[in-house]
Chain A
Amino acid sequence: MKQLSTKVTSNGHGQDSSYFLGWEEYEKNPYDEIKNPNGMIQMGLAENQLCFDLIESWLAKNPDAASLKRNGQSIFKELALFQDYHGMPEFKKAMAEFMEEIRGNRVTFNPKKIVLAAGSTSANETLMFCLAEPGDAFLLPTPYYPGFDRDLKWRTGAEIVPIHCSSSNGFQITESALQQAYQQAHKLGLKVKGVLVTNPSNPLGTALTRRELNLLVDFITSKNIHLISDEIYSGTMFGFEQFISVMDVLKDKKLENTDVSKRVHVVYSLSKDLGLPGFRVGAIYSNDDMIVSAATKMSSFGLVSSQTQYLLSALLSDKKFTSQYLEENQKRLKSRQKRLVSGLESAGITCLRSNAGLFCWVDMRHLLDTNTFEAELDLWKKIVYNVKLNISPGSSCHCTEPGWFRVCFANMSEDTLDLALKRLKTFVESTDCGRMISRSSHERLKSLRKKTVSNWVFRVSWSDRVPDER
């Protein structure tokens, strides 16, 4: 008799993907400025390490929060016993307000509609359990975060059907792509329960446009399905545009308190904006009371430690801190992103123009031997093993076009980033086409960028070139 469950014996955890394998290679030979200067530089981890000093300095000035005290009195006992799955009221209030602040206080979040979870990993899975039966499908725009294959599907039995996005329009979501995905699900005999988007996008590093958001809301209205908006990167928006949340769009379209608004759910976490993935803080926000109620009970399987709820409720309740943090965080992310982009440019490599996130979506199609995923993997292996940079190949993110890579910029020091860029430049120049391209392309790229043409025009210009120059 079969001893273990099918969940264990199948590969649904998705962890055989290259996304995780690169990680493993890094673990074997990690770069260290002093101890291992030739080691692998981790550029595959979307962590935000740029603003710890701000949090550390707050902690130094507010010692009660970490030492389990309130106004100098120990509240250890109270915290030790607090396991109410409704969450700590002060913490939910602080989270609600922080989420509002990130959205320029244009929308409000009711703390009673927040469900806490042990990270957005837990939040996303819980939402799947609430919204889908085994065999139901959610539509996700590609490329998407590789972890979703595990988080949304593994234990829930839900399926993901991709909404194919391409570089021809900067990977934006189109109406036809949505319809096509919906039809594809039907062909596969799957009932579509909703759409899940990550906004700002991982791995693209771009915030969804108002046009796309309107499209999505219209689509789920006409199909009578759900929309989950994973806004985990909402506080990493550094472009001059404002972050537009799906909540903004509901408000602008005067859809608050309608049936549609009950089918829109937001996921959030402090892992990216605050750089605290270790503390396991995630949240579900829903306008549907039944969902809030069910998700709250399900959160029993992944509650946030009361010790952590208390610390962060103190931190986030300090409005002086949050406003200074958000501003400074954005500044540092912006300047770091610029550094990566120009470094790549000098190696003849462009990125998708981005305005958020902790990574760039990098175009290395011109470095492929052939326009295939095999060639992409070949290139990836060279970059991992020879250049010793762990970056994430687009195929692991279900991108439909070979040659794109996600490269993180906020999880290392500036010096390490510079070293990584140097290594990459050396690698590119060492390859035949690279040598020819990098010098002239840098100039070309600079002038193209000035014209701010869209990516697809840019790509058309490239394909005019003679093959051996790609």
Chain B
Amino acid sequence: MGILSRKVTCNTHGQDSSYFLGWEEYEKNPYDEVNNPNGIIQMGLAENQLSFDLIESWLAKNQEAANFEREGQSIFRELALFQDYHGLPSFKNAMSGFMSENRGNRVSFDPKKLVLTAGATSANETLMFCLADPGDAFLLPTPYYPGFDRDLKWRTGVEIVPIQCTSANGFRITKSALEEAYKQAQKLNLKVKGVLITNPSNPLGTTITRTELNRVLDFVSRKNIHLVSDEIYSGTVFTSPGFISVMEVLKENKLENTDVSKRVHIVYSLSKDLGLPGFRVGVIYSNDDIVVAAATKMSSFGLISSQTQYLLSALLSDKSFTKNYLKENQTRLKNRHNKLVSGLEASGIDCLKSNAGLFCWVDMRHLLNSNTFEAEIELWKKIVYEVKLNISPGSSCHCNEPGWFRVCFANMSEETLEVALNRLKMFVYGPSSTTRSQSEHQRLKTLRKMKVSNWVFRLSFQDREPEER
């Protein structure tokens, strides 16, 4: 008899994927400016390390929040005992307000429809338990966050069917791709329960357009299925076009309080915007009272520490802090993003034009030996082991075109980013080819000005002599 469950003995935790293997390599030989300058630089971790000073300075001025005090009185007892799965009211109020602020106050969130969970990881899994039975499917646009394979499928028994997006149109979600995915699910005998999008997208770093959102809403409306919008990166939008939440689109289409609106659910977290993944703060927002009620009970399996709820309710209730933080965070992300993009350009490497996130979706197709995933993995291994940069290969994100990589820019110092970019340049051009790189840089700038689509750009490259790639 099987002593352990199949969940344990099978591989659906997804952790054999390269996404996690690169992480392991980094752990063995991590870069350190002083102690290990030849180590691997971590560019595979979507962390936001750019604005800690803002939070630390707030903490220094507001010591009560961490010390279990409110207006000079100790509330340790109250917090130690607080395990109500409805969550700390002041924290839910603060979160609702913060989420609203992130959307320019164009939509409002009712704290009563918010469910707190230990991170977005827990939120996403909980939503799957609420919306789908084992064997049901959710459609996800590719490329997508590798963690979803574990978070959405492992213990829930739910399946993911990809909505194939390609570089032909900047990886936008098309109507035909949606229909194709739906048909594919039916072919596989899977009941489709909904669509899950990440907006802004991980790994693309782009906000979903209003057109796409309308398209997706229209689709879930016709098929009578759910839409989960993971908006975990909503506070990382650093340039135009701005962030449009699915909640705004519902409002614009006058769909609030309709059946469709009850099938739209948002996931949020403080792990990316505030850079606090260690504190395990996630939320589900739903207009469906039954979902809110069920998810609230399920949150028992992953409640947020009351100690953390209290600290963050104080932080997020401080509107002068949040206003300044959001603005400054965006400025820093923009600068860092630009630095990465131009550094890559100087190596003849292009990215998908992006306006959000903590990473760029980098086009290294021209560096592949062949247009295959084997070649992508080979290139990836070279980059990890020789160039000593841990970046994430597109195949780990289920991208259907080889040659794309996700490269993070907000989880290291500026100096480290420069070191990484230099190493990459050396890899692409060799140590003695500065002239080539300069002309490449010009070429790219001209092309960018012409605003040609990615595929035209790629054709130009194929015209070049092989050894110049």
Question: CB of B261 within 8 A of chain A?
Answer: no
Q: Which residues of B contact A311 (CB under 8 A)?
A: 307
Confirm or deny: A275 has a beta carbon within 8 angstroms of a beta carbon on chain B.
Answer: yes
A255 interface contact, C-beta 8 A: no
The residues in B between 72 and 126 inclusive whose CB is less than 8 angstroms from any CB of A are 74, 76-77, 79-83, 118-119, 121-122, 125
The smallest C-beta distance from B346 to any residue of chain A, in angstroms, reads 30
**For residue A294, which residues in chain B have a CB less than 8 angstroms away from its CB?**
4, 7-8, 13
Verify if B5 is at the interface (C-beta below 8 Å from A): yes
A122 touching B301, Cβ below 8 Å: yes
With A278-B307, A300-B121, A305-B307 known as contacts, the answer to whether A81 contacts B291 (CB < 8 A) is no
CB distance from A55 to the nearest CB of B (A): 7
Q: Check if A132 is an interface residue, CB within 8 A of chain B.
A: yes
Task: Report the minimal beta-carbon distance from A286 to chain B, rounded to whole angstroms.
Answer: 11
B81 pairs with A49, CB closer than 8 A: yes
- By size class, the interface of chain B is 35 or more
Question: Nearest Cβ distance between residue A338 and chain B, in whole angstroms?
Answer: 24
State whether A129 and B66 are in contact (beta carbons under 8 Å apart), knowing that A7-B130, A122-B302 are contacts in the complex: no
Structural contact, A279 and B306, CB atoms closer than 8 A? yes
A302 at the interface (CB under 8 A from B): yes
The digit string for A283-298, where 1 denotes a CB below 8 A from any CB of B, is 0000010110010011
Docked-complex contact A305 and B308, CB < 8 angstroms: yes
Contact A4 B131 (CB under 8 A): yes
With A47-B81, A68-B66 in contact, is A301–B6 under 8 Å at CB? no
**Contact residue among A5, A130, A308 (Cβ-Cβ distance under 8 Å from B129):** A5
B300 touches A121 (CB 8 A): yes
Say whether B280 contacts A4, CB under 8 Å: no
Chain B: minimal CB distance from A85 (Å):
10
Partner among B4, B80, B155, B302 whose Cβ is within 8 Å of the Cβ of A279: B80
From A59-67, A180-188, A227-235, A452-460, the one touching the partner chain is A59-67
CB distance from A428 to the nearest CB of B (A): 30
* A77→B49 contact, CB < 8 A: yes
With a cutoff of 8 Å between Cβ atoms, the chain A residues found around residue B132 in the complex are: 5
What are the residues of chain A within 8 A of B55 when measuring CB–CB?
A: 76, 80
Is B367 located at the chain interface by the 8 A CB criterion?
no
The CA of A304 and the CA of B5, in the complex, are separated in Å by 24
The smallest beta-carbon distance between B309 and chain A, in angstroms, is: 9
Bound complex: CA of A59 vs CA of B125, how far in Å?
A: 36
Query: How many inter-chain contacts with C-beta < 8 Å in the A-B complex?
Result: 208
Determine the chain A residues whose CB is within 8 A of the CB of B155 once the complex forms.
129, 155, 298, 301
Binary CB contact string for chain B from 261 to 280 against chain A (1 if under 8 A, 0 otherwise): 00100000001000111111
Beyond A52-B77, A56-B74, whether A67 also contacts B67 by CB under 8 A is yes
Contact with B along A240-281 (1 / 0, CB 8 A): 000000000000000000000001000000010001111110
A67 with B307: CB separation less than 8 A: no
- Interface residue? A15 (CB, 8 A): yes
CB of A248, distance to nearest CB on chain B (Å): 24
User: In the complex, which residues of chain A have a beta carbon less than 8 angstroms from the beta carbon of B145?
Assistant: none
B:402-448 near A, CB below 8 Å: none
- Please, how many angstroms separate the alpha-carbon atoms of A68 and B307 in the complex? 12
With both chains docked as a complex, state the minimum distance between the C-beta of A265 and any C-beta of chain B, in angstroms.
Answer: 11
Q: Which residues of A contact B306 (CB under 8 A)?
A: 278-280
Task: Give the distance in Å from the alpha carbon of A308 to the alpha carbon of B151 in the complex.
Answer: 24
Chain B residues with CB below 8 A from A314, complex form: none
CA distance A271 to B9 in the complex (A): 31
A80: chain B residues at CB < 8 Å are 52, 55, 275-279
Q: Of B52, B56, B294, B304, which one neighbours A7 at CB under 8 angstroms?
A: B294
Q: How far is the CA of A6 from the CA of B131 in the complex (A)?
A: 9
A279 to B129, CA, bound (A): 25
Is A381 in contact with chain B by the CB < 8 A criterion? no
Chain A interface residue count, CB cutoff 8 Å, equals: 69
With an 8 A cutoff between CB atoms, is A103 at the interface? Answer: no
CB distance from A293 to the nearest CB of B (A): 8
Cβ of B277 and Cβ of A81 under 8 Å apart?
A: yes
Complex interface: chain A residues within 8 A of B59 (CB): 67-68, 74, 76
**Which residues of B lie under 8 Å from residue A305 when comparing CB positions?**
118, 278-280, 304-305, 307-308
Chain B neighbourhood of A304, CB < 8 A: 280, 305
Contact flags A76-87 to B (C-beta < 8 A → 1, else 0): 110111110000
Known: A76-B56, A118-B118, A118-B302. A83 touches B150 (CB 8 A): no
B residues in contact with A278, CB < 8 Å:
79-83, 305-307
Q: Collect the chain B residues with CB atoms within 8 Å of residue A301's CB.
A: 118, 121-122, 125, 151, 155, 301-302
| Chain B residues in 8 Å Cβ range of A275 | 80-81
Q: Which residues of A contact B131 (CB under 8 A)?
A: 3-5
- Interface assignment of A307: CB less than 8 Å from any CB of chain B: yes
B297 at the interface (CB under 8 A from A): yes
Is the pair B118, A302 in contact by a Cβ cutoff of 8 Å? yes
The 8 Å CB contact of B294, one of A13, A82, A300, A307, is: A13
Q: Is A150 an interface residue (CB 8 A)?
A: yes
Q: Quick one: CB contact mask for A1-32 with B, threshold 8 Å, 1 for yes? A: 10111111000010100000000000000000
- Which of A6, A7, A131 sits near B4, CB closer than 8 Å? A131
Across-interface contacts of A276 in B (CB, < 8 A): 80
B52 touching A76 by the CB < 8 A rule?
yes
Q: How far is the CB of A94 from chain B (nearest CB, A)?
A: 17
B386: Cβ under 8 A from any A Cβ: no
B351 at the interface (CB under 8 A from A): no
Are B81 and A8 in contact, CB atoms less than 8 angstroms apart?
A: no
B21 within 8 A of A: no
Instruction: List A contacts of B278 (CB < 8 A).
Output: 79-83, 305-307
| A8:B291 contact, CB within 8 angstroms | yes
Interface residues of A in 397-447 (CB under 8 A from B): none
CB-CB nearest in chain A for B300: A121
| Binary contact track B125-160/A, C-beta < 8 Å → 1, others 0 | 100011111101000000000000011001100000
Does any Cβ of A come within 8 Å of B303's Cβ?
Answer: yes
Given contacts A8-B130, A68-B59, A129-B155, contact A302 B301 (CB under 8 A): yes
* B255 close to A (CB within 8 Å): no
Chosen A-B contacts, 27 in total, with CB atoms closer than 8 Å, are A1-B191, A7-B130, A47-B81, A56-B74, A77-B49, A77-B52, A77-B56, A80-B277, A81-B278, A129-B155, A131-B4, A133-B5, A133-B6, A151-B300, A155-B129, A271-B83, A278-B307, A279-B305, A279-B306, A279-B307, A280-B303, A297-B150, A298-B155, A300-B119, A301-B118, A301-B151, A303-B280
Apart from A129-B155, A297-B150: 18 A-B pairs, beta carbons within 8 A? A4-B294, A5-B133, A6-B133, A13-B297, A55-B80, A67-B63, A74-B59, A80-B55, A121-B301, A132-B5, A150-B297, A226-B3, A290-B9, A291-B4, A294-B13, A300-B150, A301-B125, A307-B308
What 6 A-B pairs are tightest by C-beta distance, nearest first?
A: A278-B306, A306-B278, A302-B302, A305-B305, A294-B8, A278-B82
